[in-house]
Structure 1
Amino acid sequence: MPHRYKVREIAQQSGLSEATVDRVLHERPGVRANTRAEVEQAIADLDKQRAQLRLNGRRYLIDVVMQTPERFSDAFRSAIEAELPAFAPAMLRARFHLWESGSTEQMVDALGRIRGSHGVVLKAQDEPAVAEAVDQLVSSGVPVVTYATDIPASARCAYVGIDNHGAGVTAAYLMREWLGSAPADVLITLSRAVFRGEGEREVGFRSAMRGTGRAIVEVSDSDGIDSTNERLVLEALERHPDVGAVYSVGGGNTATIAAFERLGRVCSVFVAHDLDVDNRKLLRDGRISVVLHNDLRADARLAMRLILQQQGALPAEPARPVPIQVITPYNLPP
């Protein structure tokens, strides 16, 4: 089968002879490993150059659709906007459809109104109606990348984000180690159960806490909004006087801490997610213990790259799992 590049092109790019390149491409014996690596690097370089030519002067419009607390959407919007110039010579623009609280119907309606898009980055409920709306977008030629929380039954092309089950297990490990023998039950706060990612974190946490003898008290349906979350946490703390630690899956951490303080209660360990403005301050002030975080700019870059791959503008590369960073007051990134 002929190679996608002529032997002469690869030889010019690598600085090797055409005969040597031919031996490598046809896997003939007697080729040193470093020579083979030089040919492979030359092909990779040619791929990048071809991609640059495809991108030159092209314009792409990306839609970002998210139901999430404003503090998180603000952080992710900044990450998207910071990464847009990295795709030069192509010109990428982004439209943002962001809200904090709403119904499945609102999400379906927002997806149904998208026009002229080259791809969608989506944080949404894992509901059949949402999956159907995603399928309709994809069938019309608009690739969809789910972010932070997945909709696996849909035709989305990829999921970008951390391993949420693994994040929950990590949170439980930290909780067990730091609580030690202290007799404290644990409060777990979720924004809303319809987000698959949050459910996976909760399952991982509960499974890893099994056998510790600690009760786990759940607060949900706050949408991560501070005013709602504080009321729900106050009610839970009043019903459960032994709660002395928190795993915050869905945010609203300033409100959770305020609820503890209003009752004069101590929170010995507080594990949170996402290094937003609120959590940075809480971490610096020693009011939460640790934040499980992932690099939002790297997430934004990967999501947009996957969309351009689906559009044929970039060569296909596998989507790698996003690593979890354990952030303390002593390793806060700038």
Structure 2
Amino acid sequence: MSRTFLVKEIAGQSGLSVATVDRVLNDRPGVRALTRLRVEEAIRDLENQSRQRALSGRKFTIDLVMETPARFSAKVRAALEVELPTLQPAVFRARFHLWEMIPTEALVQALDSIRRRGSHGVILKAADVPEVAAAIDRLTDAGIPVVTMVTDLPHSRRHAYVGIDNRAAGETAAYLIGAWLKPSAGQVLVTLSSNRFRGEEEREAGFRHALRRFHPDIGIVEISEGFGRDQETVALARHALLADSRIAGAYSIGGGNRAVLEAFAEAQRSCVAFVAHDLDVENATLLRERQISAVLHHDLNQDMRKACRHIMQAHGALKEVPGGTLSPVQVITPFNLPPGA
């Protein structure tokens, strides 16, 4: 049992005598189970108090860096701003660097600028390319931990990843769409914002694997490089629908869902099953209107909380980050929309 605290400290916290606590700590016979539990609880309380004292007044400046559609970055920013006050007594201040599209060279320059300016940590959503991985390594060498979110860069020296298991999310989408399309089979339009994001590739790989295994009669038509933006996505979807009359469903990995629906409407085609990602304002509205079938959602607040705690851990302010590494996938339908969504 822990020797971090003095026997008299544990006795004072537990309300037991010094002699009793000493018997428990030294595992001597004749100690009741309830007494042992009281000592263990007292030690946990003291550990928590010790962490709180260590954090009191500790200030962290962090940078949120994202290449993603504005609708999603707004959701992430809101989640981070909600979570920062919950990390007290540590004090967090966030700086935001958000783009819908940014050339790799410019993103690398932004990361290098953060390194030169100084930061306690970076929360990053970016393409998995060697130049970005090298910039992450430079941040790490400078003592600035990087936590990737939503899409990982595992070949970099990032400190941690937070988000869902993207492959499992793709398999979940295949399970749903396969069941809904099974009577008529057909093709599924799979939309990616860009092939440069590992998380999207993992979702697509999981989707393909599950369809091939359980619904081999359902084919896939892929479009990408719409960057989740309506104008680019609708043009790609129009072309795909014109080229293949069997497309009857959609799995939107990269966003631009209204654009995809617009393309189906222009082609006078029915979208039997439509699975999307992330419960933002647009997707919540589309669910209520029954224009999409389901949204694969995960708790962004939890992700932001974990990301901040990983940064605190990297600086020795926390021993560990509780709650596991991956966020569970939640299937949201028009019938279980969370309040306020």
Compute the TM-score of the two structures, normalised by the length of structure 1.
0.95
Which residue of 2 is the match for residue 16 of structure 1? Answer: 16
Change (3 A) 1:12 1:330: same
Residue 327 of structure 1 aligns with an amino acid whose one-letter code is I
In 2: Cα distance, 1:172 partner to 1:258 partner: 23
In 2: Cα distance, 1:21 partner to 1:223 partner: 62
SS in 1 for 2:327: coil
SS in 2 for 1:57: coil
Which residue of 1 is the match for residue 225 of structure 2? Answer: 221
Q: Which of 313, 317, 320 is the matching residue for 1:313?
A: 317
Q: Which of 206, 209, 216 is the matching residue for 2:208?
A: 206
Aligned partners of 1:146 and 1:156 also within 8 Å:
yes
Deviations along 1:261-310, one digit per CA (max 9) or x if unpaired, are: 11111000001100011101000100000001011111111111111111
Which residue of 1 is the match for residue 134 of structure 2? Answer: 132
- Kindly state the Cα deviation for residue 130 of structure 1 after the two structures are TM-superposed: 1.0
- Kindly state the Cα deviation for residue 34 of structure 1 after the two structures are TM-superposed: 4.3
Which residue of 2 is the match for residue 98 of structure 1? Answer: 98
- Kindly state the Cα deviation for residue 30 of structure 1 after the two structures are TM-superposed: 5.1
- Kindly state the Cα deviation for residue 19 of structure 1 after the two structures are TM-superposed: 3.5
Change (3 A) 1:215 1:84: same
Residue 84 of structure 1 aligns with an amino acid whose one-letter code is L
Stretch moving more, 65-74 or 11-20: 11-20
Identical aligned residues as a percent: 55
Residue 205 of structure 1 aligns with an amino acid whose one-letter code is F
Residue 91 of structure 2 aligns with an amino acid whose one-letter code is M
Compute the TM-score of the two structures, normalised by the length of structure 2.
0.93
Change (3 A) 1:150 1:25: farther
Which residue of 1 is the match for residue 111 of structure 2? Answer: 111
SS in 1 for 2:157: coil
Q: Gapped runs of 5+ residues in structure 1?
A: none
Change (3 A) 1:37 1:108: farther
- Does 2:240 match 1:260? no
Which residue of 1 is the match for residue 335 of structure 2? Answer: 330
In 2: Cα distance, 1:35 partner to 1:165 partner: 47
In the alignment of these two chains, the number of paired residues is 334
- Does 2:301 match 1:297? yes
Summarize the alignment of residues 21-170 of structure 1 with structure 2, pairs less than 5 Å apart.
Answer: 21-28=21-28, 31-114=31-114, 115-170=117-172
Change (3 A) 1:33 1:239: farther
Change (3 A) 1:2 1:39: closer
Aligned partners of 1:73 and 1:98 also within 8 Å:
yes
In 1: Cα distance, 2:51 partner to 2:177 partner: 46
Deviations along 1:129-150, one digit per CA (max 9) or x if unpaired, are: 1111111101111111110111
Residue 326 of structure 1 aligns with an amino acid whose one-letter code is V
Deviations along 1:296-329, one digit per CA (max 9) or x if unpaired, are: 1111111111111111222323551211111111
- Kindly state the Cα deviation for residue 105 of structure 1 after the two structures are TM-superposed: 1.6
Which residue of 2 is the match for residue 188 of structure 1? Answer: 190
- Kindly state the Cα deviation for residue 107 of structure 1 after the two structures are TM-superposed: 1.9
Change (3 A) 1:138 1:181: same
- Kindly state the Cα deviation for residue 32 of structure 1 after the two structures are TM-superposed: 4.7
Residue 84 of structure 2 aligns with an amino acid whose one-letter code is L
- Kindly state the Cα deviation for residue 2 of structure 1 after the two structures are TM-superposed: 7.2
Deviations along 1:89-134, one digit per CA (max 9) or x if unpaired, are: 2221100000011222222111101022111101111111111111
Deviations along 1:135-180, one digit per CA (max 9) or x if unpaired, are: 1101111111110111111111111000111111111111112222
